[in-house]
Amino acid sequence: MNFRRGDNNTKQKARVFFLLFTLACLGLSLALAFTSRGAAAKEIPRPVRIGENRVPLLQWQEQFTLNINILSAMPSCKVVANKLEMTLYPEGDQALFSAEEQFLDQNLSVRQAGAEVFLTVELGNLPPFFSLRPTDRGYSIQWLEAGLKGKRIALDPGHGGTDPGAVGRHLGLLEKDVTLPIALKLRALLEKAGAEVFMTRTTDALLDPEHRQGRSVRPDLLLRRDSIDAYSPDFSISIHHNSWKTGDVQGLETYYNPGSLNGFLAKEAAVEIHRVLLDTLQRRDRGIKDKKDLVLQVKAPAVLAEILYISNKEEEALLAAPDFPEQAAKALFRGIAAYFQDPGGE
């Protein structure tokens, strides 16, 4: 496979392969239609050796987009030494697969170790930024140029309306009244840098119109998660301010969900954002943590920033300062820019 832009040979290969792929799909549908009639089809299909060419595993469609037709398993991914490695079929979940050898070259290889199948992509010659997206038949890896220009970013200001979030003890500051101005200022900075921005809310209201004060916000969080997924962003960030039952706890925490589809990228983003928040705000480092919040269960790489403790007297005063939203938005912008390797961020 050739990853270079404007390569006609690749385009032609893609067309030929698309035809083969369509035929293979038809064949597979017929095969499945027959096998599903068997009464006890408990036998797990044996993985087919690469090159036997029954079901296309890899479909080269557009430049910088690799479609992977995975029949059963969710892939798990990690980046090691400039290589992306996906576990296509974890042990115990064997499935029929094959790949077109013509689509494998030094950039891409598939290897099998026992029942596990791995896809490895050399990232060296590709644009530096990529993400995984679900498709009808599996997943696609999409490579993007570095920089914020044209990137789709979701901003999720925590709480709102009938859900104030945490409430400061000394000034009575409401969490929802700090998260929104930060997100609005961050949107302006991102749009100025050429990004497209989606916000889960732009006013003092929840997404769930049925919510009543003191009731569960789970339906609202489900709506947030779904609205972020529907926008299909390249990156999503939720903004919150932390709280604890005692007033002494203070500092910065950044969360991501390692089990999400792009968890391995979310971690990279969390590291950049956390670093810049610490640099800018000069507060205690409470670390980067694994969390499974609903807004972190989205398909895009997603981070939740807990910016200072509203329950701490000193930090509540910082959060209440008129210039705080601007300062926090600039820090988040620099962190997101660093993640997208945009030189305008520093």
**Residue with smaller CB distance to Zn ion, 30 or 171:** 171
Q: Check binding of 283 to Zn ion (CB under 5 A).
A: no
**Residue with smaller CB distance to Zn ion, 264 or 309:** 309
Minimum Å gap between C-beta 306 and Zn ion is 7
Element (H, E) at 316: helix 313-320
Contact segment (CB under 5 A) with Zn ion among 122-130, 147-155, 238-246, 311-319 equals 238-246
Q: Check binding of 160 to Zn ion (CB under 5 A).
A: no
**Residue with smaller CB distance to Zn ion, 293 or 326:** 293
Residues 93-122: x/- map of binding to Zn ion (CB under 5 A)? Answer: ------------------------------
Q: Closest residue to Zn ion, Cβ-based?
A: 240
Residues 140-159: x/- map of binding to Zn ion (CB under 5 A)? Answer: ------------------x-
**Closest among 345, 339, 328, 274 to 300, alpha carbons compared:** 339
CA–CA separation, 201 and 182 (whole Å): 12
User: Residues 161 to 200: which contact Zn ion by CB under 5 A?
Assistant: 165
Size of the site for Zn ion (CB under 5 A): 3
Whether the Cβ atoms of residue 182 and residue 325 lie closer than 8 Å to each other: yes
Minimum Å gap between C-beta 173 and Zn ion is 13
Strands (E), 5-164: 58-62, 65-68, 76-80, 83-89, 108-113, 116-122, 129-134, 139-144, 152-157
**Residue with smaller CB distance to Zn ion, 48 or 205:** 205
Minimum Å gap between C-beta 260 and Zn ion is 19
Whether the Cβ atoms of residue 104 and residue 69 lie closer than 8 Å to each other: no
CA–CA separation, 268 and 308 (whole Å): 21
Neighbours of 197 (CB within 10 A): 18
Minimum Å gap between C-beta 156 and Zn ion is 11
163 secondary structure, DSSP code = B
CA–CA separation, 208 and 264 (whole Å): 31
**Residue with smaller CB distance to Zn ion, 128 or 164:** 164
**Residue with smaller CB distance to Zn ion, 158 or 263:** 158
Minimum Å gap between C-beta 256 and Zn ion is 16
Rounded to 10 deg, the angle between the 263-281 and 324-339 helix axes is 140
User: Residues 285 to 304: which contact Zn ion by CB under 5 A?
Assistant: none
Minimum Å gap between C-beta 270 and Zn ion is 17
CA–CA separation, 112 and 264 (whole Å): 22
Contact segment (CB under 5 A) with Zn ion among 3-11, 46-54, 235-243, 326-334 equals 235-243
Minimum Å gap between C-beta 165 and Zn ion is 4
Q: Check binding of 240 to Zn ion (CB under 5 A).
A: yes
**Residue with smaller CB distance to Zn ion, 165 or 251:** 165
Residue 16 phi, psi dihedral angles, 5° rounding? -60, -45
Minimum Å gap between C-beta 204 and Zn ion is 15
Minimum Å gap between C-beta 340 and Zn ion is 25
Token code pair at residue 302: 């997603």
CA–CA separation, 228 and 222 (whole Å): 10
Token code pair at residue 251: 């500092």
Residue 327 CB partners (closer than 8 Å, separation 6+): 280, 281
Contact segment (CB under 5 A) with Zn ion among 77-85, 109-117, 149-157, 232-240 equals 232-240
Give the binding site for Zn ion (CB under 5 A).
Answer: 158, 165, 240
